[in-house]
A = this chain, B = another copy of it.
Amino acid sequence: MNISPEVQFDLHRRMVRIRLFEEAAGRLAEAAKLPGFLHLYVGEEAVAAGVCAALNDDDHITSTHRGHGHLVAKGGDLNRMMAELMGKSTGYCKGKGGSMHISDLSLGMLGANGIVGAGSPIAVGAAFANRYRKKGQVAVAFFGDGATNIGAFHEAANMACALHLPIVFACENNEYGEFTPRDQTMAITDIVDRAAGYGMPGVIVDGMDAIAVHEATLEAVERARAGGGPSLIEAKTYRFYNHHGVQNLGLKYRSDDEVARWKERDPIFTLEDRMIENKVATRQQFDDIWADWRAAIDRAIQFAEESPLPTPDQVLVDVYTTGGAR
C-alpha cells in the first residue's frame, strides 16, 4: 500500500500528541498532582495512531485501563482529558471517571475500562448497532495480550464472528500483564493464533511502526465495512514505563537491556527518520510539530489546574437519567 505524506504526518501528529500528553501526565503524577492509578501508553503510540487514523469520527472504539492514548488518537480534547485526570468538573467525565474511565461518546470512544477484557463485549454491541443502522460504521476493540486470557474477550470474539459483525479486534501485545511476562500466562507466542479458533483472519504487525499498523487496519476496516466480518490485528509493542505510574516499583521484572532494545525502536523517532530519509519531511517540520503540541499540552495543564473541582452535591448526579438518588 502507499501511505500518502499527509497520512504519514497525521500518524506522526497523533503519536506526538499521545507522547506529550502521557509524559506530562507522568510528570504530574510524580509530583502527586494526579489522584488514582495512571497507566501510561508511552511506547505503544503507533498502535492507537495507526488504528484510529483508519477510522471516522462516527466509528466506535472501546479501550482499556491504558486508555489515554486511544482517546487522544481518536481526536480527544486535551483540555478535557487533562482536567479529567485531575478530577476536575470540566473533565470529560466531570471528575467522576478519571483515567480509567475517560471517554468521549461524540467521538465514538466508549470509554477506558478498569476491568481487563470488559471492553470487547461492549465493542461487539457497538458493532451490532452499526450494522443494524446500516450506515457503514465499524467498531474497534483495543485490548492487551493479557486480556486475551479472560472469558469476556473470548465471548466477544466468538459472538462477533458468529454474527459476522463489522469489528476489528486490536491487540496491543506488550508482552506483559502488569508485572508478569506473557509467556507465563499462555502457552502460545502469538495472540494471532487465537483468531482461527473464532473463524476470523488474523495478522501480526510491528506495533512500533505506525504505518504498518495503519495499513493492516485499513484492510481490516475495509473488510468490516464491506460486510466481510471481524478481523484480529496483533501489534507487537512495548510500554516504556511501568505498568502504572512511571518508575518501576520494587521488583525489576524487565531487564534494562530489554527496555533499551525496545526504546531504540521508538515508534515516533523511527517514523521521523523514515520520513526524513524518504524526503517526506524535514527535521524543522517535526520540531515545529513538537513545539505546537507542547504548547497545547501546557495549555491543557493550565486549563485543568484552573478548573474547579466538582462540588459535593454532584455525587448523586448522573447515576440515572431519572428516578434515582436516595
B-binding residues in A (CB < 8 A): 149-155, 158-159, 161-162, 164, 184-188, 193-200, 229
Contacts and interface: CB of A to CB of B under 8 A. Distances in A.
Question: How many copies of the shown chain assemble into the complex?
Answer: 2
Which 7 A-B residue pairs are closest in the complex by CB-CB distance?
Answer: A151-B151, A187-B199, A154-B154, A194-B197, A161-B187, A197-B197, A188-B199
Contacts of A153: 154
Nearest to A202: B197
A158 B198 CA distance: 15
Contact of A162 (B154, B187, B193, B194): B187
Contacts of A197: 188, 193-197
Nearest to A229: B187
Contacts of A199: 186-188, 193
6 contacts: A150-B155, A162-B187, A188-B197, A193-B199, A195-B197, A196-B196
Contact of A187 (B152, B187, B200): B200
A187 B196 CA distance: 10
Contacts of A196: 188, 193, 196-197
A201 to B, nearest CB: 11
Given A194-B197, A197-B194, A155 B162 contact: no
Of the listed residues A184, A185, A187, the one surrounded by the most CB atoms of chain B closer than 10 A to its CB is: A187
A195 B197 CA distance: 8
A149 to B, nearest CB: 5
A164 B184 CA distance: 10
A197 B169 CA distance: 15
A252 B131 CA distance: 30
Of the listed residues A150, A153, A154, the one surrounded by the most CB atoms of chain B closer than 10 A to its CB is: A154
Nearest to A199: B187
A313 B285 CA distance: 83
Nearest to A161: B187
Contacts of A188: 161, 196-199
Contacts of A149: 154-155, 158-159, 162
Contact of A185 (B162, B164, B186, B200): B162
Contacts of A150: 151, 154-155
Given A149-B158, A188-B196, A196-B197, 19 more contacts: A149-B154, A150-B151, A150-B154, A150-B155, A151-B151, A151-B152, A151-B155, A154-B154, A158-B185, A158-B186, A158-B187, A161-B186, A161-B188, A162-B184, A162-B185, A186-B199, A188-B199, A193-B196, A194-B197
Nearest to A159: B149
